[in-house]
Amino acid sequence: MRRARMLLELDENAAENTSVPSHEAVATRAGVCTGSVVNVSKVYVERGGDVRASITRAKRTLPPVPAKTTGEVEARLIALACTKPPEGHSTWSLC
């Protein structure tokens, strides 16, 4: 929501008879650092003036860390955990 507010305040067409506020003034009003306003402005220009693309984050194509196991291994582990624990134990344990 802050990104949209920053872009609205930087809109030159909306400023009737007044000047567009500086990046510093917009940052103060939005409660962010000046660098954030500069970055939002830069993204807006890079994305061809598309507001929606500028204020939404891109979806990741991959998870941030690759999975250590496959779905098949995970399913086998869950199935094993749902069985009766070994003799002498009340629950399953990794120790």
The 10s digit of each residue's pLDDT in 32-71 is 899 989 998 898 889 888 888 888 877 888 878 888 889 9
Model confidence, pTM? 0.54
Q: Closest by alpha carbon to 53, among 5, 4, 2, 8?
A: 4
User: Cβ atoms within 10 A of the Cβ of 66, count?
Assistant: 6
67-93 pLDDT per residue, tens = 888 999 999 999 998 999 988 888 888
Strand, helix or coil for residue 49: coil
Residue 70 and residue 21: Cα distance in Å, rounded? 53
Map tokens 């954030």 to a residue: 36
